[in-house]
Amino acid sequence: MKENKQLRDVYDAIADPTRRRLIRLLADGDELPLHELTVHFQMGRTAVSKHLTILKEAGLVTDRKVGRETRFRLNAAPLREIQDWVAFYSKFWSTNMLRLNKLLEEEED
């Protein structure tokens, strides 16, 4: 059985704006070949391919061969880690804002 091990940190993978844009392009659920993704960027196929490799290493992108073409698809599951991290801090800030509001209301009285 083949083990699916992430080679790259998800946070590192999404740190680059080009990779975030690739994720957005793939988010509609369609498999897209490299040449269709490349037209959205002012860089060559090789550069886009390198970004896709980083996303693939983080488990965010899967690929499959269809004839001579490689098609890419988003695997959003690793983004759950980021969602959970942001949710924690969202709760943190909400709680602190409620405390601040309460303190300000007490000072007004």
Give long-range contacts, CB 8 A cutoff, 24+ apart: 106-109: none
What would the mean pLDDT of 79-100 be, rounded to a whole number?
Answer: 84
Q: Is the pLDDT of residue 52 over 90?
A: yes
Residues listed for the chain: 109
**Residue 51, both tokens:** 């970004």
Residue type, 7: L
Lowest mean pLDDT, pick from 27-36, 43-52, 83-92: 83-92
Of 3 and 89, the one with more pLDDT: 89
Q: Is the pLDDT of residue 3 over 50?
A: no
What would the mean pLDDT of 90-109 be, rounded to a whole number?
Answer: 80
